[in-house]
């Protein structure tokens, strides 16, 4: 069918993969970093989106895109690019991880009548990162810029629009739109009233196009697919489908699964996103994942997580009765924003470093298992779990995860799955245009190379450890998961 490219514009870098459109085999790759704030060496909260284009150009240098027929774009989620009526940026883009709008989030929740009202309206409750919350912050903090804002775009929308030469038509996809806070995955429509509630007036919103549709063609004849957010692109690159879930181990944790319909969750624990294929991606987030491990390693005077894992493997399942409720930063699942972590089961025989190390791993994984149960409790089928993040490679994680999660665990080899997902989307749009693929079935690329871990005979042991954890949680926070 040809050659396609996927580019992933993350907060830190642009990565490009060039793939065979039929098989997904990676032919060549490019990379370029994004700028940092020189004074602190950290990523800024505001960034001129032209920097994304410069990074893209650098990553594509040396003829990387020669022979490419279609490009897909993945980019950081929740970045807001406010434009004026001429299509120029009103102010620098507000990046996805920007936390300045925490007060604005609480303000918006109250303005619509509470968390349940938001869950019913758009399938999610405003948080600091959401574009709708950034709009509220803009209207309160920079009212002149808010008044000049006429068009709203996210990072992948803006990059697609630039690649196409800034056409009159502006587009996005279901996945990206579902994270804005003003588009509903359940209804498939925008809520312009929520834009007005946040910004103070209406603004032009990108057209939401289908997963296999092309956003357009460049003057040189290069097809550009719909694009999507990084989460949706990574799921597409991994090749997950019904029955699959993805557990991501970052400082915080997240659990998402493929589901056939949008879920409205009155508690706000489930964020109802759309995926890049026409399905849905309900997501549940925990605030404490790898930060639990890092905190325990520091407490024990260990230099790294590998040392913590090695120590934990000297203990046994159940950590000699030690249970760590890892709510170190408060918690979102369950919704306990002002709580603290709890360590219970201290006895003379359990007061050993290896038992605390293991309790940290078990506490982190049991917290994520709680998040999985939130989805399972709403009818989401979870038979196989993809485990992502550097900590997924740790022996202590791999030893405990299958039995605690109660399912087969797949640990994919490290790769830029968001860029691969963007390339697969480009191949889909190209195939539809050429008449070799239909709009319902994406190209069947080879799945990620991975290590497969089964719970096997350890399942009963793992469930006993979970029961121990849940018993302590119930005693400490008896109403944590009750409506």
Domains belonging to the chain, first-starting first, are 3-233+417-434 (3.30.420.40)
Give the per-residue pLDDT at 43: 60
pLDDT digits (tens), the chain, 483 positions = 699 999 999 989 999 999 999 999 999 999 999 877 544 445 678 999 999 999 999 999 999 999 999 999 999 999 999 999 999 999 999 998 777 988 999 999 999 999 999 999 999 999 888 999 999 999 999 999 999 999 999 999 999 999 999 999 999 999 999 999 999 999 999 999 999 999 999 999 999 999 999 999 998 999 999 999 999 999 999 999 999 999 999 999 999 999 999 998 878 889 999 999 999 999 999 999 999 999 999 999 999 999 999 999 999 999 999 999 999 999 989 989 899 999 999 999 999 999 999 999 999 999 999 999 999 999 999 999 999 998 999 999 999 999 999 999 999 999 999 999 999 999 999 999 999 999 999 999 988 889 999 998 889 999 999 999 999 999 999 988 875
Residue 305: its H or E element: helix 305-312
- What is the C-alpha separation between 244 and 258, in angstroms, rounded? 6
CB distance 89 to 82 below 8 Å: yes
Give the per-residue pLDDT at 35: 76
- What is the C-alpha separation between 182 and 173, in angstroms, rounded? 14
Give the per-residue pLDDT at 267: 80
CB distance 188 to 172 below 8 Å: no
Give the per-residue pLDDT at 177: 97
Structure tokens at 12: 């830190």
Classify 387 as helix, strand or coil.
strand
Give the per-residue pLDDT at 158: 98
Measured CA to CA in angstroms, residue 108 lies from 98, 111, 190, 265 at distances of: 17, 5, 17, 18
CB distance 418 to 378 below 8 Å: no
363: DSSP letter: H
For residue 363, how far is the Cα from the chain centroid? 22
Within 200-304, where are the H helices?
230-238, 290-299
The residue to which tokens 């992502």 are assigned: 388
Give the per-residue pLDDT at 1: 67
Measured CA to CA in angstroms, residue 335 lies from 11, 113, 128, 339 at distances of: 28, 18, 16, 9
Give the per-residue pLDDT at 39: 45
Beta-carbon contacts of 477 under 8 Å, excluding residues fewer than 6 positions away, are 325, 334, 336, 339
In angstroms, the first-to-last Cα distance of the chain is 52
Give the per-residue pLDDT at 337: 87
Q: State phi, psi for 384 to the nearest 5 degrees.
A: -140, 135
Q: State phi, psi for 102 to the nearest 5 degrees.
A: -60, -40
Give the per-residue pLDDT at 448: 80
């Amino acid at each position: 069918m040809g050659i396609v490219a996927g580019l992933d514009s993350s907060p830190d870098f642009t990565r490009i993969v060039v793939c065979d459109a039929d098989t997904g085999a990676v032919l060549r790759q490019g990379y370029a970093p994004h700028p940092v704030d020189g004074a602190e060496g950290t990523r800024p909260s505001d960034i001129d989106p032209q920097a994304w284009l410069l990074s893209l150009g650098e990553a594509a240098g040396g003829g990387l895109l020669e022979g490419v027929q279609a490009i897909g774009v993945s980019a950081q989620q929740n970045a807001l690019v406010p434009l004026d009526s001429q299509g120029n940026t009103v102010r620098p883009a507000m990046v996805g991880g920007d936390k300045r709008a925490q007060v604005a989030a609480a303000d918006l929740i109250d303005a619509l009548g509470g968390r349940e009202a938001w869950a019913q309206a758009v399938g999610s409750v405003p948080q600091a990162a959401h574009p709708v919350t950034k709009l509220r912050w803009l209207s309160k903090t920079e009212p002149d810029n808010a008044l000049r804002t006429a068009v709203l775009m996210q990072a992948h929308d803006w990059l697609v629009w630039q690649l196409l030469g800034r056409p009159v038509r502006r587009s996005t996809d279901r996945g990206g739109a579902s994270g804005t806070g003003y588009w509903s995955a359940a209804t498939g429509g925008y809520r312009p009233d929520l834009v007005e509630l946040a910004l103070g007036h209406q603004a032009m919103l990108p057209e939401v196009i289908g997963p296999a549709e092309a956003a357009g063609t460049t003057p040189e004849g290069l097809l550009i697919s719909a694009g999507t957010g990084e989460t949706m692109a990574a799921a597409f690159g991994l090749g997950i489908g019904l029955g699959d879930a993805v557990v991501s181990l970052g400082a915080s944790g997240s659990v998402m699964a493929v589901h056939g319909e949008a879920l409205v969750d009155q508690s706000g624990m489930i964020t109802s996103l759309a995926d890049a294929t026409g399905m849905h991606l309900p997501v549940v987030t925990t605030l404490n994942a790898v930060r639990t491990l890092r905190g325990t390693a520091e407490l024990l005077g260990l230099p790294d997580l590998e040392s913590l894992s090695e120590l934990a493997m000297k203990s046994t399942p159940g950590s000699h009765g030690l249970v760590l409720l890892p709510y170190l930063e408060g918690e979102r699942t369950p919704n306990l924003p002002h709580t603290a972590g709890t360590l219970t089961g201290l006895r003379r025989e359990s007061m050993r470093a290896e038992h605390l190390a293991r309790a940290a791993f078990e506490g982190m994984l049991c917290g994520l298992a709680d998040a999985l149960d939130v989805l399972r409790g709403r009818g989401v089928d979870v038979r196989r779990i993809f485990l992502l993040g550097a900590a997924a490679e740790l022996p202590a994680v791999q030893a405990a995860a299958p039995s605690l999660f109660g399912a087969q665990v797949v640990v994919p080899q490290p790769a830029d799955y968001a860029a691969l997902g963007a390339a697969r989307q480009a191949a889909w749009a190209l195939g539809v245009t050429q008449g070799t693929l239909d709009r319902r079935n994406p190209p069947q690329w080879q799945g990620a190379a991975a290590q497969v871990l089964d719970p096997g005979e350890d399942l009963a042991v793992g469930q006993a450890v979970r029961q121990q954890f849940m018993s302590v949680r119930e005693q400490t926070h008896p109403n944590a998961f009750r409506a």
